Structure 1
Amino acid sequence: MKNTSTSKVEIRKNIATYLVLTLLFCLPVYYMCIRTGKLGGGIISYATIVMWCPAIAALLTCRLRNIPISSLGWKWGETKYQLLAYGIPLLYSLVPYLIIWISGAGHFYHQEFVTDMAKGMGWNLPDVWAIPLYILLMSSFGMVRSVGSALGEEIGWRGLLTPQLAKINSYTATSLWMGVIWSLYHYPLLLFSNYNTGGPKWLALTCFTVMIMASCFIFTWIRLKSGSLWTAAIFHASHNLFIQSIFTPLTADTGTTNYYIDEFGIALPIATVIVAYFFWRKRKELPEQKI
């Protein structure tokens, strides 16, 4: 008979090893972001570097703790879950932005952004054509670049950490732990660099934390249900793409818009909590995570 207590101890050691390594790899990047006050660093993006720290930590943890790299969830899985992963962020971001635009909390569209975007693309098109063409290209080919960044985090967070936590915790507890850890990972960037939309820090911190905590219920469900880290990578990439590269840039400020838009305003966390509750209700559909 398997010694469950020993197995749980080993899993906790796996988790602790991963978290310590992630912190050690992130610290130098945090330092540079705090020192410069920026996520970018000339031709080097600190954001990209810090997003790949979890992946490096995960691979090293596998090496040190004799965890098979194949256990991280490299198989594609069922395509329906990949499509779900792409569509969920579109749903919970599009609805709040439509409400913001219709209510006047933000204006559609940002003329200066559209003009600069079209000029940069070499387009001589009216806005009525340039905007949908931009959205089409970003939501398709733009996903390739977005997945490239998101994959770095997801190899660690959902490839290694989520399954390890799920072996010794319930779905709810796993999601909450992931929400706390993932929030803390972002805090140095949010508090001490330009990783926000310019609103009050307290509001940005509150809204971002609620959104992250809620999204982890979705991430955990789709990762455990599909058995594939690619669902998490696509989910993460889709979230970043639609919010950071499409809806927020297309929204013009009407005075208090920063209080409502992006990951740091009040609209997105509300929508994410609603969607997260739907997945929490479906928690009994998840397969049992064996130690």
Structure 2
Amino acid sequence: MGAPHVLFAAWIRRHPLRAYVLLAGALSWNYWLALLALGWRVAPGSDATHLPGLAGPAVAALLVTACAEGEAGWRALWQRCRRWPSPPGRTLVLALSPLIAGAAVFAARALVTGQLPAWAQFKAYPGLPADGSWPAVVLVALLLNGFGEELGWRGFLLRRLAASQGPRRAALIVAGVWALWHLPLFWLHAGMAAMVGPMLLGWAGGLVAGSLLLGWLFLATDSVLVVAVWHTAFNFMVATPPGHGAVAIVLNAAVVVAAVRVWRAWPR
């Protein structure tokens, strides 16, 4: 019999998707459950942060890729993390579409209320100190929330599933795994704990729609960078204080509408 680590590496090479899902969950859940065991909660004014746990999918993707595909797999993954497809202007509009749509919603609301949210309010990103500098907040959110999730969910899991299952079914499978992965956050994160109840159905539907839309965006561009920017931009619009309430509802509804169009356009 071989050494345990050799047998484990061989199992990963035979079952990369199964290994990825288990490893991504283990990495994220271990961190989040440790915070819960210590009695910490992520809430405004709290020193706790859930953000390092968001990097679990990316770390799992890197580890499984290294084991299953070696250096060639790492190089391909790195290319997807830095690819910005042509035409660059169109790609920029796609990647920043949550900011563009959010700005339109805020402008429309200002016509009624006469008020625009303070720029500094958008820095109150969940899990980060509100007094951080703008470059630091954006960089940490992009690395841990954007790349931390999208390198794994789209850059690894969706890409492999779509090759065998087709884009529709692959996006739905990713949505299911993605939803289960969030479970500890409903106890750890005050904002997500507030959704337990009827709002949870809306959250689940929005996540499925987001999986379809992000799946289409990734498969259309083959770029982790594009979907990471989109994911981060969307969270700045809906997860920070100015986006709570009506703005989040409007933007989530727009994602659902876009996801329906993706579903109809994709082959079975």
| TM-score interval for Structure 1 and Structure 2 normalised by the shorter chain | 0.7 to 0.9
**What is residue 231 of structure 2 aligned with on the other side?**
236
1:32 aligned counterpart, secondary structure: helix
Q: Residue 108 of structure 1: CA displacement?
A: 5.4
Measured after TM superposition, the shift of residue 90 of structure 1 is 3.1
Q: CA deviation at 1:183?
A: 1.3
The residue that corresponds to 2:130 in the other structure is none
Aligned positions of 1:1-291 closer than 5 A = 13-35=15-37, 36=39, 38-39=41-42, 45=49, 47-66=50-69, 68-72=73-77, 73-74=80-81, 75-78=83-86, 79=88, 80-87=90-97, 89-90=98-99, 93=102, 114=118, 117=120, 143-149=138-144, 150-189=146-185, 191-196=186-191, 199-245=194-240, 247-248=242-243, 257=245, 262=248, 267-283=250-266
Residue segments in structure 1 that go unaligned for 5+ positions in a row? 1-9, 121-136, 252-256, 285-291
Give the RMSD, CA atoms, in angstroms: 3.6
SS in 2 for 1:187: coil
* Stretch of structure 1 that moved more, 140-149 or 273-282: 140-149
Confirm or deny: 8 A CA contact 2:41 2:48 kept in the other structure. Answer: no
TM-score, normalising length: structure 1 = 0.68
Paired AA for residue 27 in structure 1: W
Per-residue CA distance 1:221-262 (angstroms, 9 max, x = gap): 1111111111111111111112223632xx6xxxxx5xx564
TM, length-normalised to structure 2: 0.73
Task: Answer yes or no: is the 8 Å Cα contact 1:172–1:217 preserved in 2.
Answer: yes
**Alignment partners' CA distance in 1, 2:254 and 2:231:** 16
Take 1:228 and 1:21, find their aligned partners in 2: how far apart are those partners? 23
Cα deviation, residue 42, structure 1: 6.2
Task: Tell me the matched-pair count.
Answer: 237
Identity %: 20
Determine if contact 1:54/1:155 at 8 Å carries over to the other structure.
yes
In 2, are the aligned partners of 1:210 and 1:269 still within 8 Å (CA)? no
1:38 offset after TM fit, Å? 1.6
Deviations 1:19-73 (A, max 9, x none): 111122122222134343523796562x221111111111110122125112322
